[in-house]
Amino acid sequence: MGEELKVIVFALAEEEYGIEVDKVRTIERMSPITRVPKTAAFIKGVMNLRGVVVPVVDLRGRFGLPEQEPTDNSRIIVVAVDDLEVGFIVDSANDVIDIDTDNIDTPPEIVGGVKAKYLHGIAKLGDSRLLIMLNLVEVLNKNEIEQLMQLEG
């Protein structure tokens, strides 16, 4: 049996995704986002989180999925990648679960329209439930991280 991995489960366009708990700083309700000019379309802008300016990325837009207006269930999951905190807009954040690392397989080329480079793997939960594990380093590639760092400035 592998190690237990604690994961936050969130939904995006009918699929369930996971991010390791130790990379998540906080989960927030939708709050005002200030648009920043000359950034990629999926970078929605910045928000003030308890006095800290945090760049906000729409994960639907990042993955090329159809964007939708936020609902009461929408959440912003604030994650830490290297020295950067970034908020991801997701359809909903559902729960925290433990996954045996032995149950995480290499992802196929595309899952639910999302390219494999953004994925860490696919976790099998029970007989019929799959959880798409995100590779945060690829979700925010180096050039984009540098762009976002300038936003924090």
CATH 2.40.50.180: does it fit domain 4-152?
Answer: yes
pLDDT tens readout for residues 10-59: 999 888 999 999 999 999 999 999 998 888 888 899 999 999 899 999 99
The SS3 assignment for 128 reads coil
Q: Bin 38: left if φ > 0, else alpha if -120 < ψ < 50, else beta.
A: left
Q: For residue 36, what are the CA distances in angstroms to 54, 135, 137?
A: 12, 25, 22
Give yes or no for a contact between 144 and 135, defined as CB atoms under 8 angstroms apart.
no
Query: Cα separations (Å) of 33 from 64, 90, 126?
Result: 21, 14, 38
CA atoms within 13 A on the CB side of 58: 19
The mean per-residue pLDDT over the stretch 109-119 comes to 69
Residue range 89-112: mean pLDDT, rounded: 86
pLDDT in tens, 47-56: 999 998 999 9
pLDDT, mean of residues 117-137:
85
Span of 21-35, 74-88, 136-150 with lowest mean pLDDT = 136-150
Instruction: State the Cα–Cα distance between residues 56 and 78, nearest whole angstrom.
Output: 8
User: Could you give the angle at the alpha carbon of 152 between the alpha carbons of 148 and 153, nearest 5°?
Assistant: 115
The DSSP call for residue 50 is T
H-state helical runs in 6-116: 59-62
Beta strand pairing status for 52-58 and 119-125?
Answer: unpaired
Ordered by start, the domain boundaries in the chain are: 4-152
